[in-house]
Amino acid sequence: MNNRDIEKRLSRALRRETPDVLSRVLSAHEQEEKIVELNQVQPTIKKKRRWPIWAASAAAALVLTAGAAWGLTGAYGTDSLISIDVNPSIELATNRYEKVLRVTALNDDANQILDGMDLKGTDLHVAINALIGSMVKNGYIDDIRNSVLVSVDSKNTSRAAALQDELAADIQQALESSAISAAVLKQSVQEDDALRSLAEQYGISSGKAALIQQLSQQDPTLNLEDLAAMNINDLSLLALAKDPDLQGTVSGTVSDKAYIGLDRAREIALAKQPGGTIKEISFDFEDGRAVYEGELLHNGREYEFDIDAVSGDILKWKDDGPMDTDDQPLLDDSSYIGLEKAKTIVLERLPGAQVLELKLDRDDGRVIYEGEMITDSLEVDFEVDAVSGNIVKWDEEARRGQVTQQTQSPSADPTYLSMEDIRSIVLTKVPGGTIKELEFDYDDGMAIYEGEVLQGRQEVDFEIDAVTGDILKWEVDND
């Protein structure tokens, strides 16, 4: 019995065993849609007792609105998609009468929030009130984490902007009654395929996806996966640190009570180097950890530091060397090779990379261009001697969470393995071997790669199935 026989047997066994769920799927799906319609006529609130206040107001609102929504054109069409993110992520679809058509829990936390609530058919504002109340009750919003992201996706942009403001007001009001002063981050989102797939990849709302996409565009060293895992409070702090202009889209003040705060971080840095001056300090995330990073000047030297935002521990304290008080020459690079030349030098070393940062600086008395560049898979910190143009530092690091780029198949047909794939198969078999020849060929109509690899002193002729990667021939040539 060969591989193919075994696979045939498995395939036949599974064909017989695969259940037929087609009709169940279709009726389950239909049911989902019917529920939406039904609820507009006869809204029901389940488990009333668990939601005394919100449920009662929701029920009252429904009595008033149920009749109105029924029978009007446009009642079933989705007008706006609204997502509310705290850590629970919930998406609401509404019609143009602001009735909730569908509520979707996008993560486990959201399931907990929605448990027992049936908001279909309710007024949007009532629904938001109920959701926010439940989030407070379940401990997702408090003084420490007081931020809520509201994203509105609507074809009508002026409508989207108005809705955002209304909802922000609703949320602040709801939280006020729990004595929490909320911060609401508002945004309009136009969902497209890229955003949708980003959202699906990480199981987050398209609103949160839009926010992290924006953040990672602003600072490409931020990792999407880390960002996706962060709660809205942290994301808001980070977004505001990266782009202070965003303050305009936030109602209220984002709480940093979970962290030691900028003032305390300043104190810690100054305690380490008494008499110093803080040149800059800001909130950031390094490797998923919240930090305050900054620069301090003391006695003509410059120090770079990172302080853990939770514990206040100094994670990094780097002496960047003397900083001449009369360091005018640094601003004028005419005596040096120049920014453009420095850029050319590093790009020669790593073609196609994107230079994110490049500046003239001093390091231990030597004038250098220091900077950072990235490719899809690498992050490089470099320093170029500003006089000689020599690269004096080159630290390559793999970018975490990045999908390694797919190698292109030499043949246009994607069903074939690429040359690179074949190389790795051969080199797995002959570690350290040298591939002398490798070419794509057809052998009796079968696509193969054939080649030669040097194994020590021996030459091996091989053929590999271009589809399965099976080694078809492996012959040691003893000549």
Site residues (vs other proteins, CB under 8 A): 1-3, 6-22, 24-26, 28-29, 193, 196-197, 200, 414-415, 417-418, 421, 424-425, 428, 467-470
- Nearest distance from residue 198's CB to other proteins, in Å? 11
Please say which residue, 272 or 429, places its beta carbon nearer to other proteins. 429
- Nearest distance from residue 468's CB to other proteins, in Å? 6
Distance CA 329, CA 335 (A): 8
- Nearest distance from residue 138's CB to other proteins, in Å? 19
CB 456 within 8 A of CB 436: no
Distance CA 42, CA 185 (A): 34
The encoded tokens of residue 67 equal: 């009749």
Q: Which amino acid is at 336?
A: Y
The encoded tokens of residue 262 equal: 């900028």
Please report, to the nearest 10 degrees, the dihedral formed by the alpha carbons of residues 7, 9, 15, 17 taken in order. Answer: -120
Please say which residue, 22 or 63, places its beta carbon nearer to other proteins. 22
Distance CA 94, CA 368 (A): 57
| Cα torsion 158, 159, 164, 170: sign | positive
Please say which residue, 12 or 34, places its beta carbon nearer to other proteins. 12
CB 113 within 8 A of CB 49: no
Exposure letters 433-456 (e unless 16+ CB within 10 A, then b): bebeebebeeeeeebbbbbbbeee
Please say which residue, 156 or 468, places its beta carbon nearer to other proteins. 468
Please say which residue, 37 or 421, places its beta carbon nearer to other proteins. 421
- Nearest distance from residue 471's CB to other proteins, in Å? 9
- Nearest distance from residue 425's CB to other proteins, in Å? 6
Please say which residue, 162 or 194, places its beta carbon nearer to other proteins. 194
* SS3 call for 305: strand
- Nearest distance from residue 19's CB to other proteins, in Å? 5
CA distances in angstroms from 43 to 34, 46, 48, 131, 194, listed in the order given: 12, 10, 13, 17, 36
Dump the DSSP string for 368-389: EEEEEEE-SSEEEEEEEETTT-
Exposure letters 321-337 (e unless 16+ CB within 10 A, then b): bebeeeeeebeebeebb
- Nearest distance from residue 396's CB to other proteins, in Å? 20
Please say which residue, 2 or 328, places its beta carbon nearer to other proteins. 2
Please say which residue, 81 or 291, places its beta carbon nearer to other proteins. 81
- Nearest distance from residue 293's CB to other proteins, in Å? 33
